[in-house]
Structure 1
């Protein structure tokens, strides 16, 4: 904390092969109404010239740090940036998206009202990249990240439950500003997997104390054909979900009450993601991945998982009606 009681925020931006978007994305961070304490850009082994673009445009800005690494993946790039961060709070931003200009300034206001804050959760909207065919991604099918609720919660667990009850708990790391000490004191770093947020963010919430939720949108997610989440799926996606499930099972086994129940919901959702990938993609799993999947299924007796294994559509219908009559699904 600095002498005039303003929280310092380190914005960490992993960059990998986004030369067409990186300037617009980083400029939206640099040009905040209130400048971040520091911006750490991690060039994760880009091969399209993104690293050169970053150096040419941001190397002389005093509060910007730039590092270049071999390609290690999004999670490890975030870890690299975190180890260099000296701000009191951390924010992870993606290098092809956009930030509203008032995120940092509004967070400072939130902090002054809640000086013990651990996590600040906000909303986002999606937009289709101009080069993305409307036939592939229609506007009404873009992902929605709207909280629809607001509040201050004494623990991250209570906030997790409330968001889960509302159907608006999103694991995406770019929807949260959080205290760095919460992360470092609890060894909350990213695993080297795809879908790393699925296991990182629940761990973060369950270690957090004061958590503030707002429905205001501060982030704009660009949906483009070449992004991690829009490319064809592979065994790595399955492995990422399996790793996340293992973490969620461990969290569930150490939780009670509604927190335990909603962690079980997230486990089921990750299993359903796996079923969807297997049904939509021509993937042959290795023996070790097949064994890991079998182990997960053996340890899960949720009847909805059984339904999803054979028909994801029927699962969604069953889930809808169970939710309507008050079941935790």
Structure 2
């Protein structure tokens, strides 16, 4: 480890594993940040490519860098190791393959300080690794779920869904150090994936004040391959373990936290389960998970103990669930936890099998001419 003196307003923790092709762009975007002073803590987690060499070049030329070498301990443990070095009033947890706009840290720092916030959140855009093309996914920061003010008193001041408003990743957020430490928050190190969701949503629930910067300040690299999100097939049930742990966390909170957040959370958990099944790369894994969903093997979602209408906060959830059920045997698809597919409350998003020809034609046209949507 190379420890250097600093007097930073913000510490930045970056985890790097086999990012030789892109870590230089990440670090270059950090040294161009407009906010002084800044301390950059890099956890180089056992890369087998030239990532360490690239990082050392930056560290030799800039006293703001601290480099920590670990031996492939994983994303959660690497972030925890980096957080041990944090001493500034605020810090961020960033990925080594992303690129950050010059005013990102300054904007989040000012928002947190001015709003007396425990967490400040910004917007992002996706950057295709192969083409460099940008896409702005409106779902990353759902303005419809947020109060009109830039800073507000946490989830209790929100009329919308906390879990829908913000994504369960840590890297678009600036955290007040004392808040995280007093809450005792850390990344679970025994989960093969989904550990970032637990840390992020626990922090958002506990935060007394939140601040939002409605600006795209991060270019999140997509399609690089060899990432945690692309290797979920190695532990396909880890997401459900994380869902149950988060549910237990909410139920253990004092006062009326679970009473007020349970529908929002269970709707989010259902949506995230559908996403985890839909996006598995291996068809056999997808079908296995769909079968488990059908068989009630995810009881923490409470799908069989509540009416289907309880789970309609996400507009497309019923359609997506129905599609997964049709992957299974035709004689059993109506015996899943939400019952007969024809009787589900689809809303305006009808299931293909139950559309008339005109509705099918309109659906095909809309798919070819999509409108930007938060959902």
Q: TM-score, normalised by structure 2?
A: 0.70
Matched residue, 2:248:
250
Residue number among 132, 136, 158 corresponding to 2:156 in the alignment: 158
TM superposition shift of 1:203 = 0.3
Query: Matched residue of 1:19: which SS?
Result: coil
- Residue 127 (structure 2) aligns with: 127
Residue 88 of structure 2: aligned partner: 87
Asked which structure has the greater RCO (Cα within 8 Å, sep 6+), the reply is: 1
Larger radius of gyration: 2
- Structure 1 residue 104: Cα displacement: 2.2
**Equivalent residue, structure 1, for 2:355:** none
Choose 199-208 or 221-230, whichever is displaced more: 221-230
**Aligned residues of 1:120 and 1:212 also touching (Cα < 8 A):** yes
Within 5 A, what are the aligned runs for 1:1-329? 8-114=9-115, 116-130=116-130, 145-148=140-143, 151-158=149-156, 162=160, 164=162, 167-192=164-189, 193=191, 194-228=193-227, 231=230, 233-239=232-238, 241-253=239-251, 254=253, 255-277=257-279, 281-283=283-285, 296-297=298-299, 300=302, 301=304, 302=306, 303=308, 311-312=323-324, 321=347
- Aligned-pair CA distance for 1:234: 0.7
Partners of 2:23 and 2:51 within 8 A in 1: yes
Query: Partners in 1 of 2:229 and 2:246 — Cα distance?
Result: 25
After superposition, the C-alpha distances for 1:200-250 in whole angstroms (9 at most, x for unaligned) are 2110011111111121111111112415266354142421x1222112211
CA contact (8 A) 1:238 1:274 kept: no
Question: In structure 2, do the counterparts of structure 1 residues 319 and 90 end up closer, same or farther at CA, with 3 Å as the change threshold?
Answer: farther
- Supply the distance in 2 between the matched residues of 1:322 and 1:89 (Cα, whole angstroms): 44
Deviation larger for 214-223 or 271-280:
271-280
Summarize the Cα distance change of 1:281–1:199 in structure 2 as closer, same or farther, 3 Å threshold. Answer: farther
Check 1:237–1:12 CA distance in 2 against 1; reply closer, same or farther (3 A cut).
farther
Moved more, 304-313 or 52-61: 304-313
More displaced 10-residue stretch of structure 1: 143-152 or 71-80: 143-152
Query: Aligned Cα RMSD in Å?
Result: 3.7
Shift of 1:268: 1.4
CA distance in 2, matches of 1:72, 1:189: 15
Q: Deviations over 1:108-146 (max 9, x none)?
A: 4324422x22110110011111368xxxxx966968524
Q: CA deviation at 1:163?
A: 5.1
Paired residue for 1:135? none
- Tell me the TM-score normalised to structure 1 length: 0.79
Contact 2:33 2:104 (8 Å CA) reproduced: yes
